[in-house]
Amino acid sequence: MIWQSTYLAEGLAAAIAMLTLPLLTDLAVCIAGNLRRRRKTTAAKVQEIRLAVVVPAHDEEPMIARTVHSLLEAGCTPSSVRAKQDGQAWQVPVIVVAHNCSDWTAIRAAAAGARAVVLNHPHLRGKAAALRFGFDRARDEGANAFLVVDADSVASSNLIAATNAALERGADAAQCRYELELPSSRPATARERLRVLAFRAINVLRARGRARLGFSAGVFGNGFAVTDDTVERVPFTVDSICEDLEYHVRLVAAGARVEWVDEAFVHAPLAPVRAAQVTQEARWEGGRFFVATRATGKLLAAIFRGNWRAFEMLAEAWSLPISRGVFALILAACVSVHWLHVYAMAGAVLILAYVLEAAFLGDDPRRDLAALASAPVHILWKLAITPLVLRQSRASAEWARTQREVHTP
């Protein structure tokens, strides 16, 4: 049905534009940033960093050893090695917080070489609670900076060195590349490639683009590091299911900036396209909506105080997922308002450029682009889970382990 150019059509056009503008603004920033040449980092060391890796874990017995082994290979110190002695270099510990676990996560972590601590508390259910506990333990051991790595992830061999370097140069916080792994035991499906492409676009392309333009790169909850001084200034008192986005909002509103570490990464397995992924997507998207509603006032106040980075943070907080943005632009084509058609065409160009940039960041751009054939199915799937997303957009949600294919070290 073609909408007539009436007040109703104009109102619908304005609603579509307002709904998609944050997304298109964020895409424009990241595209422009990625086209800009990377500047070489030559800043001298300005602070002494004693880093500890904190691994929050909830029922991660099948994969925790793989994570610990990768961290030890990246430069962390096994728990069997004695603590730092006078005159020796700082030894980076791996502290696994086994939080409300019903399996052998703590035992597996300790056997792999981590310092496993157990947190069992019926009223402390979120990942953020486990992180606060881990930060306190690391601080007690002498650390003044904390690197968060999820319990199902693999770290690059240079992760510790690259993170240390960023923090030693004076960064308030740092975020490395965070990507998903395609299944290794079988060929990946088109939808799986599409999900990995979308994840890379959000967690690599957007972050790198923001950082190159001087904005804060972002916090993704995995591969994120922060100094104790920053935690003192901006306490980690976040408890939503999207604690990473919520804390990033607080950092930016307080004038802090997250530096991008492009040369190091963490990888995590892709959740299967079943009930586990439906739950995971709904929790993330619903949590983002909740955080955005709470963040708007803080970010507007920061903008009025002259904090220009808060403007981009506001666009990030209210950005629709790409799939929903594409659906909104398709809807725009059905509304008989000329200016909206021009707006939709400009938005389509931005999205196309964004997808192409993300594809060419991967190892197999041809297959990633071919996977776009499954995009209509993904968009319909996103629309179908909308009721679940709305139910998840509440103040807090229980931390639940996402079921994935098991990887053994």
Confidence tier at 1 by pLDDT (50, 70, 90): very low
Find the domain containing 324 and state its range.
7-36+308-392
Confidence tier at 301 by pLDDT (50, 70, 90): very high
Same domain, 23 and 61: no
- 300 lies in some domain: no
Same domain, 266 and 321: no
Length of the chain: 409
pLDDT tens profile 119-171:
887 666 678 889 999 999 999 999 999 999 999 999 999 999 999 999 999 99
DSSP state of 399: -
- 241 lies in some domain: yes
- 15 lies in some domain: yes
Which residue type does 73 have? E
Beta carbons within 10 angstroms of residue 103's beta carbon: 16
What pLDDT is attached to residue 3? 46
What pLDDT is attached to residue 385? 80
- 324 lies in some domain: yes
- 135 lies in some domain: yes
**Alpha carbon separation from 343 to 9, 21, 206, 333 (Å, rounded):** 15, 10, 22, 10
26-40, 186-200, 389-403: least confident range: 389-403
Closest CA to 110 of 51, 157, 57: 57
> Does the pLDDT value for residue 33 go beyond 90?
yes
Same domain, 32 and 60: no
Tell me the C-alpha distance between 379 and 343, whole Å. Answer: 21
Same domain, 225 and 361: no
DSSP string, 358-382: HHTTSS-HHHHHHGGGGHHHHHHHH
Q: What is the CATH number of the domain that holds 203?
A: 3.90.550.10
Structure tokens at 266: 């963490």
- 44 lies in some domain: no
**Alpha carbon separation from 293 to 202, 297, 399 (Å, rounded):** 20, 8, 21
Of the residues 272, 299, 333, the one at which a domain ends: 272
What pLDDT is attached to residue 8? 85
Same domain, 69 and 184: yes
Q: Average model confidence (pLDDT) for the chain? A: 88
Confidence tier at 61 by pLDDT (50, 70, 90): very high
pLDDT tens profile 84-116:
555 578 899 999 999 888 889 999 999 999 999
SS3 assignment for 46-59: CCCCCEEEEEEECC
Same domain, 88 and 19: no
**CB-CB contact of 19 with 340 (8 Å):** no
**CB-CB contact of 252 with 309 (8 Å):** yes
**Alpha carbon separation from 382 to 230, 285, 286, 385 (Å, rounded):** 37, 10, 12, 5
Number of domains comprising the chain: 2
- 404 lies in some domain: no
**Alpha carbon separation from 288 to 1, 27, 235, 247, 389 (Å, rounded):** 33, 17, 20, 12, 10
| Between 282 and 22, residue with greater pLDDT | 22
**CB-CB contact of 225 with 264 (8 Å):** no
Same domain, 58 and 22: no
Same domain, 18 and 155: no
Confidence tier at 350 by pLDDT (50, 70, 90): very high
Tell the burial category of 175 from Cβ atoms under 10 Å away from its Cβ (0-12, 13-18, 19+).
buried
pLDDT tens profile 187-209:
888 888 998 999 999 999 999 99
Same domain, 176 and 136: yes
Same domain, 28 and 151: no
**CB-CB contact of 92 with 146 (8 Å):** no
Query: Which residues are paired to 161 by β-bridges?
Result: none
Tell me the C-alpha distance between 267 and 71, whole Å. Answer: 12
Model pTM?
A: 0.90
Same domain, 252 and 332: no
Which residue type does 2 have? I
**CB-CB contact of 376 with 243 (8 Å):** no
Same domain, 136 and 195: yes
- 99 lies in some domain: yes
Q: What is the dihedral sign for C-alpha 290, 135, 149, 210?
A: positive
